[in-house]
Amino acid sequence: MRYRQLTTGSLALGVVLLIDVLRVWLPGIITIFGQAASTPAELMGAFALGWFVLAMAAPALVRRVGSRRVAGTAAVLLAVARLALTSAPGGRPQLWLATAGLLAGLVWLVGVAGGTDRPVPGLALGLAVNAAVHALLDTYDLVWRGGWAAWLLSAVAVVLFLLGTALPTALPAALPTAPPGPGGARSWLLAGPVLLLTGMVALAPALAETGMSYLVAGGDVARSPLFGLAPVPVAVAGFLLAALAGPTRRWGRPLGPAALLVGVVLFALDRGDLLVAAILLTAVGLGACLALTDAPGRADAVAAETAETGAADAVETGAAGVGTGAGAGSEAGDGGAAGVDGTRRTAARRGYAVAAGMLLFVLGAVGYYSAYDLGYPNAAVPVVVAGVVAAVALAARPSGKRRPGPLPPLRTAGAVAALALLAPLFADEVAVASNREGPPERLRVVAYNIRMGFGLDGRFDLAGLSAAIDRQRPDVVLLSEVDRGWLLNGGHDTLDLLSDRLGMPYVFGPAADPVWGDAVLSRWPVTDLRSRSLPSLGAPTGAQALAVTLDLGDGVRCAVVSTHLQPPPDAGPVAQARAVADFATGYAAGRPLVVAGDLNTEPGDEAFAQFTSAGLVDALAVARPLATSPADDPRQQIDHVFVSPGLTASDPVAPRGEASDHLPVAVTLTLPPR
Q: Residue 551 is inside which H or E element, if any? A: strand 544-553
Residues 6+ apart with CB under 8 A from 42: 370
**Per-residue pLDDT at 381:** 94
Closest by alpha carbon to 142, among 224, 19, 8? 19
Chain-centroid distance of CA 361 in Å reads 13
User: For residue 485, how many C-alpha atoms fall within 13 Å in the half-sphere facing its CB?
Assistant: 31
Count of CB atoms situated within 10 Å of the CB of 63:
21
Q: Looking at domain 442-670, does it have CATH number 3.40.190.10?
A: no
318 burial type by CB count under 10 A (0-12 exposed, 13-18 middle, 19+ buried): exposed
Question: CA 49, CA 360: separation in Å to the nearest integer?
Answer: 10
pLDDT band at 426 (very low <50, low <70, confident <90, very high): confident
CB contact at 8 A, 480 and 512: no
C-alpha pair distances (Å), 378 with each of 48, 367, 566, 576: 18, 7, 19, 23
pLDDT band at 56 (very low <50, low <70, confident <90, very high): very high
Q: Please state the rounded mean pLDDT for residues 508-536.
A: 93
Question: CA 318, CA 301: separation in Å to the nearest integer?
Answer: 25
Strand order in the sheet with 544-553: 526-533, 544-553, 556-564, 593-598, 639-643, 617-618
pLDDT band at 311 (very low <50, low <70, confident <90, very high): very low
C-alpha pair distances (Å), 272 with each of 212, 222, 535, 624: 9, 8, 20, 40
CB contact at 8 A, 450 and 465: yes
Question: CA 30, CA 140: separation in Å to the nearest integer?
Answer: 19
Tell me 235's DSSP state: H
Q: What are phi and psi of 573, to 5 degrees?
A: -85, 55
Question: CA 147, CA 154: separation in Å to the nearest integer?
Answer: 11
Higher pLDDT, 173 or 144: 144
**Per-residue pLDDT at 43:** 87
- Residue-wise pLDDT for 348-382, tens only, equals 899 999 999 999 999 999 999 888 877 778 899 99
If you average pLDDT over every residue of the chain, what do you get?
87
Question: CA 35, CA 241: separation in Å to the nearest integer?
Answer: 43
Question: CA 588, CA 592: separation in Å to the nearest integer?
Answer: 7
Question: CA 365, CA 26: separation in Å to the nearest integer?
Answer: 9
Q: Is 10 helix (H, G, I), strand (E, B) or coil?
A: helix
**Per-residue pLDDT at 634:** 96
- Residue-wise pLDDT for 248-287, tens only, equals 777 788 999 999 999 999 999 999 999 999 999 999 999 9
Residue 307 has pLDDT above 50, yes or no: no
Q: What is the dihedral of CA 106, 111, 112, 113, to 10 degrees?
A: 90
* Three-class HEC string of 483-519: ECCCHHHCCCCHHHHHHHHHCCCEEEEEEEECCEEEE
Amino acid at 152: L
Residue 38 has pLDDT above 80, yes or no: no
Residue 480 has pLDDT above 90, yes or no: yes
pLDDT band at 1 (very low <50, low <70, confident <90, very high): very low
Domain boundaries, the chain: 3-426, 442-670
Count of CB atoms situated within 10 Å of the CB of 37:
11
- Residue-wise pLDDT for 446-464, tens only, equals 999 999 999 999 999 999 9
Q: Which CATH number fits domain 3-426: 3.30.1490, 3.40.470, 1.20.1250, 1.10.20?
A: 1.20.1250
CB contact at 8 A, 548 and 519: no
Q: What is the dihedral of CA 381, 383, 385, 391, to 10 degrees?
A: -150
C-alpha pair distances (Å), 607 with each of 99, 228, 424, 593, 613: 41, 39, 44, 19, 10
Question: CA 385, CA 114: separation in Å to the nearest integer?
Answer: 25
